[in-house]
Structure 1
Amino acid sequence: MKIISVSRLTLLLFTILGVTTSVNSTAGECKILPKVLSAYYDFNQQKSNNSEGNKIQILAAKQTQSFELHRYNNRVLQRDINQGVNDIWSHKGNRLSLNRAFEQYQHTIEYQSNELRYQPKWQDIFQLVATPDLDKMQLVEQKNSGCQLEQHYFHKTKTSEYQLVWLPNLQLVKFFELKSPTLTRQWSLTNYQGSVEQIAVLFAEYSRYQSTDYADVGDNESTPFLAAMINQGFSASQNTRALHTHHEAH
């Protein structure tokens, strides 16, 4: 695998990154609270097939998806725009709970901590993208200030390369790339805003959905949405990992 030099890596990141923001901050100051903000991402994934015989790399079509991250203190909403399935996570007393919201049916299913087969780390939920720990990566560059303060990181293993641009004052991923010989994944922040009013309204919208405890799904076959979930094997699968799988970096 071709190794990118630190200088070329820095130049590349400076060139490809461009983010518009809804809130302007004065130099050296960030007025957005990391615990109350909305962030919008494009996720691109491209597979490749390297032929050892003739060194030809065959690239599959790039797939692009859109995701949203909304933080409201101890709650985080992760929206999968393509699927219309959204996860609302709560973190209280070191315990996670999940409300999975299905927009088509205006219905949520509530999971308690002991009902979650897969429990991601709160930090991965909080930043949407599961990245390597910062202390395991090489800090290449730091620039700007305030909300726009950026830290550029690089990490290489035997099988993968990682590039990360981190916004420490927002606790937010600006750009993240995971590259292996067969797969490239990229997360790009396209916008963010910190309006408390807008975020509160969004969470209130989902609170109006009809809700069912996971444990009671099997007893509500008369509800069309729940009957459809039962027929699809939803009740037995406890498939709480489906949405977050797209966010994993490793």
Structure 2
Amino acid sequence: MKKLLLSSLLLSATSFGAFACNDEEITETCFSANYSITKNDHGHPHTQQVEFGRYQQHAIKTVLNDDPNTNVIEHWLVRQADRPEMFRHFTEANRSIHYSFSDLGALQARKTWQQVTEMLPSQWLETLTKSTESEFEGFKVNQYQGEIGEYHIELSWIPAINQPASVVIIQGKHRTEMHMTQLNNAKRYTALLSEWDSYYSVDYADIGDMENDPFISKIINQGFIEHTHH
């Protein structure tokens, strides 16, 4: 299918009514958070900015670049219980690639809904030891620390949205730090979902028949999608 009706997916997932977010509230299923992630390997740090949020049955993760038009957007949604689908949106080209649940299985990239709706696994809380409490943006934050396998973890968790406020992960000379820098409501996603709905969308299964499309060729060469024939 060369033009997937994204609107049917969006409307079935949110209805923009019964399942719409309250623009003024921050909840587990309606929020937008910005994170700064720094990986330090043997004294060589690399920092990346990421936005992660929920709009009910949508989970959206965006790697933020200096040029917003080149941001890498992964947009997950669920229409059937624990069968997430994914879109990759390319703002600069106003194009999207749709990965069905079956496509993701063929690519060995299938995830559970819990996996795509958490920046870090909430199951870590069962292993780590809770210590003190603090606050971030008016929300209670629980502090945890301990060992998971060969990793030392120091984790701050916001139970109201079931997401991390910060984490430090240490393994030998490898250190990863992630800090939430902003926490907002999900209002901005209403406009973004509408914008993405206007994009020309292609099913991943059809890419093998579109080798002459300059956009498809470009994103294959850039490594955004795998080149396979179906």
TM-score, normalised via structure 2 length: 0.77
Q: State which of 69, 83, 87 in structure 2 corresponds to 1:99.
A: 87
CA distance in 2, matches of 1:164, 1:237: 40
Q: Where does structure 2 lack aligned partners over 5 or more consecutive residues?
A: 1-23
Match of 1:169 among 128, 152, 160: 160
Contact 1:217 1:235 survives alignment (8 Å): no
Per the TM alignment, residue 110 of structure 1 is displaced from its structure 2 partner at its CA by 0.4
Matched position secondary structure for 2:191: helix
CA root-mean-square deviation: 2.5
Residue by residue, what CA displacement relative to the aligned partner does 1:180-204 show, whole Å, maximum 9, x if unpaired?
A: 11211111000011143x2211222
Of 116, 129, 133 in structure 2, the residue corresponding to residue 138 of structure 1 is: 129
Task: Pick one of 67, 72, 75 that aligns with 2:50.
Answer: 67
Map residues 28-39 of structure 1 onto 2, 5 A cutoff. Answer: 31-39=25-33
**2:84 alignment partner, SS class:** strand
AA of the residue aligned to 2:159 = P
Matches within 5 A, 1:1-250: 31-48=25-42, 59-60=43-44, 62-82=45-65, 84-92=71-79, 93-116=81-104, 117-130=108-121, 133-144=124-135, 147-157=138-148, 159-196=150-187, 198-230=188-220, 234-236=225-227
User: What amino acid is the match of 2:181?
Assistant: T
Q: Judge conservation of contact 1:218–1:230 (CA < 8 Å) in 2.
A: no
Cα 1:218/1:180, change in 2 over 3 Å: same
- Counterparts in 2 of 1:121 and 1:40: CA distance versus 1, 3 Å: same
Q: 2 CA distance for matches of 1:215 and 1:228? A: 17
Which residue is 1:246 aligned to?
none
Distance in 2, matches of 1:146 and 1:232, equals 38
For the structure 1 residues 131 and 34, does the alpha-carbon distance in structure 2 shift closer, same or farther, using more than 3 Å as the test? closer
Change beyond 3 A, Cα 1:157–1:85:
closer
Residue type at the aligned position of 1:45: K
Aligned residues: 197
What's the CA shift string for 1:79-122, capped at 9, x where partnerless? 01136211000123210100011223221110011111212342
Secondary structure of 1:225's partner?
A: helix
Deviations 1:191-237 (A, max 9, x none): 011143x2211222222221100011111233210133455674436
Percent identical pairs in the alignment equals: 22
Q: In 2, distance between residues paired with 1:230 and 1:115?
A: 16
Check conservation: 1:78, 1:128, Cα contact below 8 A.
no
The alignment partner of 2:27 has SS state of coil
Q: TM-score, normalised by structure 1?
A: 0.71
Q: Decide which structure has the larger Cα Rg and report it.
A: 1
Judged with a 3 Å threshold, the aligned counterparts in structure 2 of structure 1 residues 188 and 146 are, in CA distance, closer, same or farther, namely closer
Asked whether the equivalents of residues 38 and 193 of structure 1 are also in contact (C-alpha less than 8 Å), the reply is yes
